Chain A
Amino acid sequence: MAKILGPHHGWILAAYIVGAMVSGAIFLALLTTVPPRYRKPIVMVLTFLAGLFYSLEFLLPPEAWFFVKPNRNPLTDWRPFVGTLTQIVWSFALLLGVWNLFQIHGKAVVKRGPGWYNSAAFFVAFAAIVFAGFAKDMSRSTAPAQLYTILFKGFLTSLDATMFSLIAFYIVSAAYRAFRVRSLEAALMMSAAGIIMLALVPVGAVVTNWLPNTGFLSIFRLEKIGYWLLIGPNMAAQRAIAFGVAVGGLAMSLRIWLSLERGSFFDRQL
């Protein structure tokens, strides 16, 4: 077995790789011949088996009686491999999205509909950074690296940061519009937000600066109230949500693992 796994080099390696590809292709071809009524059970069984990996890896402690060798859960050793494999296979899916982008923007450019030049700009930007990236790693010239800096640092990170910072503006308009005393709920949310906004800045804390810094009255100082709101009621409420989400997530995972999930994607004929 170890001999087959290699590592191999030169022609033998090439032969092995081609062999793996061919056997893979044969396997896929075989899959296409599976009659429809067996398809769903196959997917179900594979989903279940895949789910077993991480479940058993966690649920079986190394000291369990059936692990003979000095207390190891053998699945744990496979974790890095499965992690890498997942990442690699997942990477192949990226082109699905890129392909869709190409289709939509390609059509726009070919048709010359309104705004086609935007789609053209999409292709230019795409090609430029792919070229600069790969050329930077392959050629010895510094020009691609500089182009890459301009595209990545000049455009991409600036666009990222600016888009993110738009929230600074939107948070103002959202607060202004939403925080009206229409209902008890809105009023509660508004008050909590207002107190914490005041409490977090020294200028706001001036409001209650006349209160003593220690003793009973000090708990009414704004920064203390804000702090209390954050670690008291806020944490309790967040934890209540967290427990609900935890159980909901567990239930949904369980349904998917055991193929009990219902809904269009899962009810479909294969």
Chain B
Amino acid sequence: MVEWLAKNTTTITIWAGALSTFAIYSVLYAENRFYRLFEHIFIGLSAGYGVYITWSEVLRPKWWQPMVVGGKWYWAFAAVLGSMFYFMYSKKDAWISRVIFGLFMGLAAGGMFREFYEIYFPQMGASMKPLMANGMTIWDSVNVVIFYVILFASMSYFFFSFEHKNVALAKSAAAGRWFLMIGFGAIFGATVMGRMTLFIGRFNFLINDWGPQVAIAWKSIWFKSFVALLFLAAVMLILIFKSHRKRKVSTLDGK
């Protein structure tokens, strides 16, 4: 077993990849058992991977080794802090988990001033555009005006506390919403290509990596008969699924 594994790691990896790919794509037709199985494997693997990687990339190098090998004993207090999370399972002392939550929320909240400065100050700076300058064409000026109209109209849409009885504000907010929709359309359109290349990536994997493996396997009589069996089983499953679904539809059709 171990030897066989060692000899065929690449082959098995590619087959596992192909199987996973088909399992996930099957949900495009309908949610099914094959998908469900792989969904659970996926969650199991990622949880296990999380445990492993948390230990090997965070806890071991940053906590365990400095403490046990490096002699920095005070890291032991980190474990005490960490254990405070688990008090939430206690009815009486659940508040202790609140202490650690409070500490973390405070830390996160304290970062707000820096974050506001680092992310949004440059954006404010970039928004201060001259309407006219040396070397700017009329077209550039028009663009700047358009920029300000869209910026301020869209911002006015997000004023919550001013009653939109003021006609100018109401109009501006409505226009702002239209501008926002143009922006969202632009994002949508610009995203399509990136998403399509993701599928091309999977397709290339199936054709260029898995394809040759299938060609190799096809040479063996065992594989051929296995495929034939699989085909038969699939046909039967589809037949069963169909009759099963007819019954199900009548009960679930609440729409």
Q: Report the separation of the CA atoms of residues A31 and B48 in the bound assembly, to the nearest whole angstrom.
A: 33
A165 contacts B143, C-beta separation under 8 Å: no
B252 within 8 A of A: no
Interface of A is mostly: helix
| Contacting pair B146 A233 (CB below 8 A) | yes
| Bound: A9/B189 CA distance, A | 61
Q: CB-CB < 8 A to B195: which residues of A?
A: 165, 167-168, 171
Given contacts A155-B20, A161-B201, contact A52 B13 (CB under 8 A): no
Chain A residues near B158 (CB-CB < 8 A): 240-241, 244
Q: Check A115 against B36 for contact (C-beta < 8 Å).
A: yes
Docked-complex contact A55 and B44, CB < 8 angstroms? no
Give the complex CA separation of A122 and B155 in angstroms.
48
Q: How large is the interface on A (under 10, 10 to 19, 20 to 34, 35 or more residues)?
A: 35 or more
CB < 8 Å neighbour of B113 from A16, A55, A86, A128 = A55
CB pair A50 B104 closer than 8 Å: yes
Minimum C-beta distance from A149 to chain B (A): 6
The answer to whether A233 touches B201, judged by C-beta atoms less than 8 angstroms apart, is no
B225 sits at the interface (CB 8 A) = no
User: Interface segment, B79-87, B228-236, B242-250?
Assistant: B79-87
Residues of B within 8 A of A142 (CB): 6
Query: B-side interface residues toward A, CB under 8 Å?
Result: 2, 5-6, 9, 12-18, 20-21, 23-25, 27-28, 36-56, 58-59, 62-63, 67-68, 70-88, 92-96, 98-100, 102-117, 119-120, 123-124, 127, 139, 143, 146-148, 150-155, 157-158, 176-193, 195-196, 198-199, 201-202, 205
| Complex A-B: 18 CB contacts under 8 Å | A16-B73, A19-B73, A24-B76, A39-B98, A52-B106, A88-B63, A89-B78, A89-B82, A149-B13, A150-B13, A162-B21, A165-B202, A184-B178, A192-B186, A193-B185, A236-B151, A237-B151, A244-B155
Known: A166-B24, A229-B186, A246-B119. 4 other contacts (CB 8 A): A51-B107, A94-B50, A143-B5, A243-B123
Q: Which residues of chain A have a CB within 8 Å of any CB of chain B?
A: 5-9, 13, 16-17, 19-21, 24-25, 27-28, 31-32, 34, 36, 39, 42-44, 46-55, 57-59, 82, 84-98, 101, 105, 115, 117-119, 121-130, 133-134, 137, 142-143, 146-147, 149-159, 161-169, 171, 175, 184-186, 188-197, 200-201, 219, 226, 228-230, 232-244, 246, 249-250, 253-254, 256-257, 270
